[in-house]
Amino acid sequence: MAEKIFKGGEYLIADVACEDVFTPEDFSDEQRQFAETTEQFVENEIVPHIEEIDKQNFDLVVAGMQKCGELGLLMMDAPEEYGGLELDKASSMLVAEKVSQGGSFSVAYAAHTGIGTLPLIYYGTHEQKEKYLEKIISGEWCAAYCLTEPGSGSDALGAQASAVLSEDGKHYILNGTKQYITNGGFAELFTVFAKIDKEHFTAFLVEKSFEGLVVGAEEKKMGIKGSSTTQIILDNCKVPVENLLGEIGKGHKIAFNVLNVGRFKLGAGVTGASKMALVEGIKYANERKQFNTQISKFGAIKEKVADLTAAIYASESLVYRLAGLLDDKLATIDKGIDNYYEEYQKGIEEFAPECGISKVFCSEVLAQTVDEVVQIHGGYGFCSEYPAERYYRDERINRIFEGTNEINRLLIPGMILRKAMKGELPLQAEAMKAFESLMTPSFEEIDDSVLFAAEKALIKNIKTLFLILAGTGVQKFMDKIAEEQEILMAAADIAIQIFAIESAVLRAEKCFAKVSEKKQELLKAAVKVFTFTATEAIGTAARKGAFYVEEGDTLTMILSGCRRFAKYDATGLLAAKRLLAEVACEEEKYLFG
């Protein structure tokens, strides 16, 4: 556990030491054992059947889920009182990462263990957990989550499904249609959201066997074809009153808090998928010859491999840093208190901005990875005989799942600014200091004898840049800033890249002294390559944001700050890229995990 317990969003104003972050190098023997067990299960039980699963042989999916139950992979978040393991978030995310290599099966697993199971764990009564939880964590039953409707996606509270108490007071009668329900075709338990008396947004535990629940036809999807996605139709569905989940009118708490968990777990899952796709691309580049030369020897291919390796390193660093932040926060909560899960949810909600960052950044790294892997394959990447084609199709949904990346980009700065307005983060005071630094010349020299000195100086500067732009936006639009979506999106891009750069640098610094000289050079190369790319993205977002917010002399001053604060000396960039690529191609693996 880190000495300092951080707040959500605090990374934007705090100095963070490498000792304060959790990294993959910090995994315990127990965590590594879980990872190995999961990897072997996926390799032996799922991968050989991926083609059959993609033909919608759901018997294989259900059998795989039951096997997961036997191995303890469905009970990691469940309390010990009900037969669960109640493990830390780092372990849970590590397993999610390893399961991701199972293609469409990983979608069923993620939905079951995340949004399918967690509402019951966090909000269920003792009686509800006694009745359902053992079935869910053993794999006897699969679970699903019914929030989206044909007319309400990102606007979840715009749902039209209704619930009315029966005349005898024994049942709620649910009506409506739920859309895009993962595991819909074979789930036995559904968490369904509906409005009691068309007003009070509420969650219910609904069994497949309940009268009036109808499972719709399978959707014909672009990717993740082996996952079940259906409508769930509620036609005067009778739900016992004791199956109301949580409190009447408080369904939004369940919906949004569980989505936070889904977002950071998705970050872990897509990071695992990125590693797998990269290795597939490298192996093909080593096999394929053009002009009597392996294409992995060409600079154009080397650059792709290097950029992807560095981006995945940042993705992995970010994901497990977040796991550490969550575990440190949750460890401060007394398990003996009556409202433990209420406080637990507050602990997770504290890091809602970082959960959104994990979802957006890591899913976009996967998008970049699979696109380049298809490109490395050339025409063969467009053919279904090669896995690159499936990776490409399967990837696309991740930027839509768990709230679109656009919605998350709006939420990230929005949640951070709300924290500031509530006095939970001293953002206003720090923004004032940032403005002062904008008008003060800087003569700070970088001490090259300090490890990652250039990157640390950059991190400090880009945090200042974020504060300048966010502060300018708030000053101009005040509480109307929430309506300025383009400005919020630009601010989000800066905040996301800051967290990613800092995570990569702190991880590399933390393990640097413990690794070989060869690994040290690879770490420096990965940090340089990623930091250069991310800084370019920050510069673009900052300039765009400046033009959105200001004009005249103030705009000129902020643009000057953009040039000054988003400046990074990437001397040796080409050599760094070549080193990463050559070693990755020689070893045919992702180099850092």
CB 508 within 8 A of CB 527: yes
- CATH for the 251-405 domain, from 1.10.150.530, 1.20.140.10, 3.10.450.50, 3.40.50.2300: 1.20.140.10
d(CA 507, CA 318): 9
Neighbours of 192 (CB within 10 A): 29
pLDDT category of residue 440 using cuts at 50, 70 and 90: confident
Task: Flag whether pLDDT at 152 surpasses 90.
Answer: no
- Please state the rounded mean pLDDT for residues 410-422: 93
d(CA 266, CA 361): 11
Residue of 228, 230, 270 whose CA lies nearest to 62: 228
Task: Flag whether pLDDT at 2 surpasses 90.
Answer: no
Beta carbons within 8 Å of 564's beta carbon, 6+ residues apart? 442, 461
Task: Flag whether pLDDT at 340 surpasses 90.
Answer: yes
The tokens for 348 are 């997770």
What pLDDT is attached to residue 447? 82
What pLDDT is attached to residue 59? 97
Q: What CATH number should be reported for the domain whose range is 10-142?
A: 1.10.540.10
What pLDDT is attached to residue 449? 84
**3-class state of residue 500 by DSSP:** helix
pLDDT per residue over 532-576, tens digit each? 999 999 999 999 999 999 999 999 999 999 999 999 999 999 999
Task: Flag whether pLDDT at 593 surpasses 90.
Answer: no
Dihedral of CA atoms 556, 562, 563, 568 in degrees, nearest 10, equals 180
Residue of 521, 91, 525, 584 whose CA lies nearest to 369: 584
What pLDDT is attached to residue 438? 84
For 7, 352, 520, the CA distances from 420, given in Å and listed in that order, are 12, 14, 39
d(CA 508, CA 522): 10
Q: Give ∠ CA 285-288-292 in degrees, rounded to 5.
A: 120
For 40, 108, 136, 182, the CA distances from 203, given in Å and listed in that order, are 37, 21, 18, 17
Q: Answer yes or no: same fold for 251-405 and 420-587.
A: yes
Task: Flag whether pLDDT at 156 surpasses 80.
Answer: no
Q: What CATH number should be reported for the domain whose range is 420-587?
A: 1.20.140.10
Minimum mean pLDDT range among 24-38, 47-61, 154-168: 154-168
d(CA 152, CA 487): 25
pLDDT per residue over 490-503, tens digit each? 999 999 999 999 99
Task: Flag whether pLDDT at 10 surpasses 70.
Answer: yes
- Please state the rounded mean pLDDT for residues 317-326: 98
pLDDT per residue over 455-464, tens digit each? 999 999 999 9
Question: Concatenated DSSP letters for 376-404?
Answer: HHGGGGGSTTSHHHHHHHHHGGGGTTTS-
Q: Which CATH class is domain 145-245?
A: mainly beta
What pLDDT is attached to residue 116? 96
The tokens for 107 are 């979608």
pLDDT per residue over 233-284, tens digit each? 999 999 999 999 999 999 999 998 899 999 999 999 999 999 999 999 999 9
Torsional sign, CA 500, 501, 503, 508: positive
Neighbours of 4 (CB within 10 A): 11
User: Phi/psi at 429 (nearest 5 deg)?
Assistant: -65, -40
Neighbours of 439 (CB within 10 A): 9
Domain spans in the chain, listed from the N-terminal domain onward: 10-142, 145-245, 251-405, 420-587
d(CA 578, CA 256): 44
Q: Catalytic residues, which ones?
A: 402
- Please state the rounded mean pLDDT for residues 154-170: 90
Beta carbons within 8 Å of 460's beta carbon, 6+ residues apart? none
Query: Which has more pLDDT, 391 or 449?
Result: 391
**3-class state of residue 245 by DSSP:** strand
Beta carbons within 8 Å of 368's beta carbon, 6+ residues apart? 307, 308, 311
pLDDT category of residue 118 using cuts at 50, 70 and 90: very high
3-state DSSP helix/strand/coil % of the chain, to nearest 5:
65, 10, 25
Task: Flag whether pLDDT at 159 surpasses 90.
Answer: no
The tokens for 202 are 């509420």
The tokens for 44 are 């032996």
Beta carbons within 8 Å of 571's beta carbon, 6+ residues apart? none
Q: Is 262 exposed, middle or buried (0-12, 13-18, 19+ CB in 10 A)?
A: buried
Dihedral of CA atoms 558, 561, 566, 567 in degrees, nearest 10, equals 140
Mean pLDDT, the chain, rounded, equals 95
What pLDDT is attached to residue 88? 95
For strand 200-207 and strand 143-146, is the pairing parallel, antiparallel, or unpaired? unpaired
- Please state the rounded mean pLDDT for residues 587-591: 98
Amino acid in position 191: T
Minimum mean pLDDT range among 213-217, 300-304, 394-398, 474-478: 474-478
What pLDDT is attached to residue 357? 98
**Which residue has 């372990």 as its token pair?**
91
- Please state the rounded mean pLDDT for residues 443-469: 91
Neighbours of 387 (CB within 10 A): 18
Task: Flag whether pLDDT at 179 surpasses 80.
Answer: yes
Task: Flag whether pLDDT at 584 surpasses 90.
Answer: yes
pTM of the model: 0.96
What pLDDT is attached to residue 421? 87
pLDDT category of residue 443 using cuts at 50, 70 and 90: low
d(CA 545, CA 547): 5
